[in-house]
Structure 1
Amino acid sequence: MKPLDGLAWTNRFAALGPDFFTELPAQGLPDPHWVAQSPACATLLGWPADWASRGDALAAFSGNAVWPGMQPLASVYSGHQFGVWAGQLGDGRALWLGEVDTPNGPLELQLKGAGMTPYSRRADGRAVLRSSIREFLCSEAMAALGVPTTRALCITGSRLPVRRETIETAAVVTRVAPSFVRFGHFEHFAHHQQLDALRRLFDWFVTHHAPECADAAEPPVALLKKVSEQTADLVAHWQAIGFCHGVMNTDNMSMLGLTLDYGPFGFMDAFDPGHICNHSDDRGRYAYARQPAVAFWNLHALAQALLPLMPIATDEEAEASGERLIEAVESFRDRFASQMLGRMRAKLGLDGEHADDQTLADDFLKLMAASSADFTITFRRLSRALTDPEPLRDHFIDRDALDAWLARWRPRTAPDAEPRMLAANPAVVLRNHLAEGAIRAAAQGDFSEIERLLKVLSRPFDEPENPGDAALPPDWAQSLEVSCSS
């Protein structure tokens, strides 16, 4: 039996031609096995619940087989890494399988960890089980939180050894998104002055992913404004849930405003605006509080890449074109501020909009920082503080200061503040120690904790059956570190 008979593969990205990618087969995992599947992602694709048991699904998603219509390829892009131009990059351990029609529109599938490509830059092209579990769980957890994100369909594993800091075992995670095009795709062709290719990429992206920009007076300006606003929405959502991406290089920034490339990410435990989740980020470029500024910087890099598409025949035209692109990027500032304040109003259960709402929110965050209060638990307990403030007070050193803040906050709350806040402040996020528990069990061949956590994370605003899933991290979690190999 052929797997999922009748799938329609459109593969629109492949129509761009060989300037944009290299076609090549995956390097399959030897003796693969299933590690995990996401029912929610399969539903997004419109696939039946038993899709993984059909035909050669295990082989296809381990890189050992190709379904009819798949067209494996690795795309080329460039980018800035840690603020420095890194030159040509590309899909060094990712392989695009194709684009399939679904009830939710065309969606692309991509294998991560399926072997070397021309863009691997002396790396092995593999992913390890540890990082694959983290990406799989967080992709689906973020979707359940309502955060724009790539999705994860499944993980396959193998006993194939892979060296990182130590010897680990290989895995492949299958990622799903409407598009995996990044800022770095545009940077690549602009930097190398391949202007015909840059124009083809732009026209292709607008046609398929931003058609409303095609009839604008200046389509590059319209697209940049759209991407700037989507990015502002995304980063505001990150900040509101205490999420740190860890490596916001321009090649990790989605043109669709999706959370892309889950590497050294982390949800904050104790609130610290200067929190650095990536052990490799020794200068703190991607610290929590700096994420909005980094996104803004990255958008300027994208603007520079789009500049050749603007009228630049004279110095005057070039200057004016640059100014209009910068103005489009500037839309990020107001959009981010508005989105962030809106999310804080929801988290605080405020009634309507008042001029001092920003101050009220900032003052609460300052109190949290002074006490190193747990980000997720503190907001969750604030959700019930109108009726029972004592559990919240336990998280603060200066309780008098908290009580004074609560006295300012209570009159500002909406009549239905508690249910609204409980719907805005999750009970459970993918903390590092929760992921680590699933990773350690999986290393022993037990994948049940991945499945259990996936179910818990799919309902992040419900109180979990196991109170430990929503509790403070254990002491041993303080020693956990994630880096660019994570």
Structure 2
Amino acid sequence: MAFTLSGDDAIQTLQPSPIPEPYWVAFSASAAKLVNIALKDDGYPQDDAWLDVLAGNALETQSLKFSNPIATVYSGHQFGVWAGQLGDGRAILLGDINGQELQLKGAGKTRYSRMGDGRAVLRSSIREFLCSEAMHALGIPTSRALAVVGSDLTVRRETMETAAVCARLAPSFIRIGHFEHFASTQNIVQLKELADLLIDQHYPDCRDSKNPYLNLFQKICERNAKLVAQWQAVGFCHGVLNSDNISVLGLTIDYGPFGFLDQFQVDHICNHSDQGGRYAYHRQPQIMHWNMACLASAFIPLLELAHSEAESQELLSNALSEFPVIYGQSWQALFRQKLGLESTRDDDIELIERLLQAMHDSRVDFTNLFRKLANINTNAPVSEIKLRHDFIDRDSIDQWFNDYIARLKVESTVDAERKSKMNGINPKYLLRNHLAQVAIEKAQQKDFSEVARLLQILENPFDEQEEYEEYAVPPSPDLAAIEVSCSS
């Protein structure tokens, strides 16, 4: 087991709670390759025992036995407020397979469930499954989703719903909240054990550095700065960037009320429960930086093993100040690529920001706009660019297109080459909320075909896939109003 700390207060060893009459809802053949699961022609495991294992009803397949399932404690800040002790309230870690931790989300109560029932529902499990695999296909670091197993077991949320278990994979599910917990309880022994475990298993280069724990902090910051830049570049809103939802490996984890932008609004809020807009699209970089500050506070005792308190704080503060620099560099590089720009010019940022402002003012579809920019003929007049009709201020956007075409002509690539490169970074297909909702509603009627179809489409987000053209169309006004909350 990768997560091993001294004492029994950090880990609970327990069995998952069985669900009655489990059935397959979805399965990722791509994720199954990570853990060497042999599949039948229908894309499901050859060993039928996997259904019961991933449902939480058994711990053994023909070739594997999970002897020590666990739940772990962590703490954290939720919506900017210290929430105290939290933990795996409905997630149980079965064990390691081929360097991947296999965790069941919705597998029953743990000692960390507080007032929860330890279950997940079908709708949220489908959303996490599809988005995890979609993000992987987009090249964005993420936990993976192996399967969703359903049951007719009912659980109460706003209404009565059916339960499901989402089996997910990651090299580690350690999060900022784990460090915050041991720092807040002043358990320096376990705090150090956790940092050493992370270095040994995931950041081995830190071991030989002059200051291993400072170097570890720097690398965690760097990964998460680059991660949030990637989110911004595809218009992804996480929805609940609490410190206990942030991976120390720089992975996107804990998919809840997430959403991809349809009409571009820089201040878009995807989580209906986020009434103050703390986790709005434009605030995600700032909030991730804030979460890294929470981690810095938790790391102070580690640096104090070799430095004074004042020195430790100064070292961590200096490291933390690099976050916006790394984020800014990553964001600029990604948006240059989205515009097909290979060289770097000082006025590129103004060009990007002018476009985003125009998109915001006119509520232009984020994904389709960047995808269609690849089709521009740099030798044709601006008046022939169809995209200009998506904007309210025609004179302003015409000037932008003139400036953009002039900038493209500075590049050495021809239009066909530029289009190919832009289509390799600007996806055509994303998990828009209305698409997920259709799949969920069919699944609630025991029709899982749309889940499988969406998975197939989202695994190839940059391909044209002409037979699925309607899946790239923005939602109608009534479907665009779908609201997603923290409830799951």
TM-score, normalised relative to structure 2:
0.94
User: Residues 351-379 of structure 1, C-alpha deviation per residue, up to 9 Å, x if partnerless?
Assistant: 31111111111111011011010110111
Q: What residue is the counterpart of 2:433 in the other structure?
A: 432
Out of 80, 83, 106, which is 1:86 matched to?
83
Asked if residue 31 in structure 1 is aligned to residue 31 in structure 2, the reply is: no
Q: What residue is the counterpart of 1:466 in the other structure?
A: 468
CA distance in 2 between counterparts of 1:149 and 1:411 reads 37
Is there any run of 5+ residues in structure 2 with no aligned partner, and where?
none
Q: What residue is the counterpart of 1:417 in the other structure?
A: 418
CA distance in 2 between counterparts of 1:91 and 1:453 reads 29
Deviates more, 1:461-470 or 1:80-89: 461-470
Q: Is the 8 A contact 1:19 1:197 kept in 2?
A: no
Q: Alpha carbons of 1:359 and 1:55: their partners in 2 closer, same or farther (altered >3 Å)?
A: same
CA distance in 2 between counterparts of 1:483 and 1:17 reads 36
Q: Is the 8 A contact 1:16 1:201 kept in 2?
A: no
Q: Is the 8 A contact 1:232 1:336 kept in 2?
A: yes
CA distance in 2 between counterparts of 1:184 and 1:190 reads 10
Q: What residue is the counterpart of 1:354 in the other structure?
A: 345
Deviation at 1:455, TM superposition (A): 0.3
Q: What residue is the counterpart of 1:4 in the other structure?
A: none
Asked if residue 364 in structure 1 is aligned to residue 366 in structure 2, the reply is: no
Deviation at 1:424, TM superposition (A): 1.1
Instruction: Specify the code of the residue in structure 2 equivalent to 1:23.
Output: T
Q: What residue is the counterpart of 1:175 in the other structure?
A: 168
Deviation at 1:43, TM superposition (A): 1.6
Deviation at 1:265, TM superposition (A): 0.2
User: Residues 302-326 of structure 1, C-alpha deviation per residue, up to 9 Å, x if partnerless?
Assistant: 0000100112798xx2111101011
Deviation at 1:55, TM superposition (A): 3.8
Q: What residue is the counterpart of 1:76 in the other structure?
A: 73
Deviation at 1:385, TM superposition (A): 2.0
Q: What residue is the counterpart of 1:22 in the other structure?
A: 12
Deviation at 1:16, TM superposition (A): 5.2
Q: What residue is the counterpart of 1:323 in the other structure?
A: 314
Deviation at 1:382, TM superposition (A): 1.1
Deviation at 1:19, TM superposition (A): 3.5
Q: Alpha carbons of 1:313 and 1:48: their partners in 2 closer, same or farther (altered >3 Å)?
A: closer
User: Residues 15-49 of structure 1, C-alpha deviation per residue, up to 9 Å, x if partnerless?
Assistant: 65533210000011111101010011012223222
Q: What residue is the counterpart of 1:307 in the other structure?
A: 300
Q: Alpha carbons of 1:412 and 1:44: their partners in 2 closer, same or farther (altered >3 Å)?
A: farther
CA distance in 1 between counterparts of 2:309 and 2:170 reads 35
Q: What residue is the counterpart of 1:194 in the other structure?
A: 187
Deviation at 1:398, TM superposition (A): 1.4
Q: What residue is the counterpart of 2:94 in the other structure?
A: 97
CA distance in 2 between counterparts of 1:350 and 1:466 reads 29
CA distance in 2 between counterparts of 1:280 and 1:352 reads 42
Is there any run of 5+ residues in structure 1 with no aligned partner, and where?
1-10
Aligned residues: 470
Q: Is the 8 A contact 2:101 2:169 kept in 1?
A: yes
CA distance in 2 between counterparts of 1:313 and 1:341 reads 37
Q: What residue is the counterpart of 2:480 in the other structure?
A: 478
TM-score, normalised relative to structure 1:
0.94
Q: Is the 8 A contact 1:111 1:172 kept in 2?
A: yes
Summarize the alignment of residues 42-441 of structure 1 with structure 2, pairs less than 5 Å apart.
42-50=32-40, 52-67=45-60, 68-101=65-98, 106-311=99-304, 317-386=308-377, 390-413=385-408, 414=411, 415=413, 416-441=417-442
Instruction: Specify the code of the residue in structure 2 equivalent to 1:58.
Output: L
Q: Secondary structure at the match of 1:482?
A: coil
Deviates more, 1:197-206 or 1:46-55: 46-55
Task: Tell me which stretches of 4 or more aligned residues in structure 1 moved more than 4 Å.
Answer: none
Out of 2, 14, 21, which is 1:12 matched to?
2
Q: Secondary structure at the match of 1:271?
A: coil
Q: Secondary structure at the match of 2:45?
A: helix
User: Residues 326-346 of structure 1, C-alpha deviation per residue, up to 9 Å, x if partnerless?
Assistant: 111112111100100000000
Q: What is the identity percentage for the equivalent residue pairs of Structure 1 and Structure 2?
A: 50
* RMSD between superposed Cα atoms in Å: 1.4
CA distance in 2 between counterparts of 1:369 and 1:187 reads 37
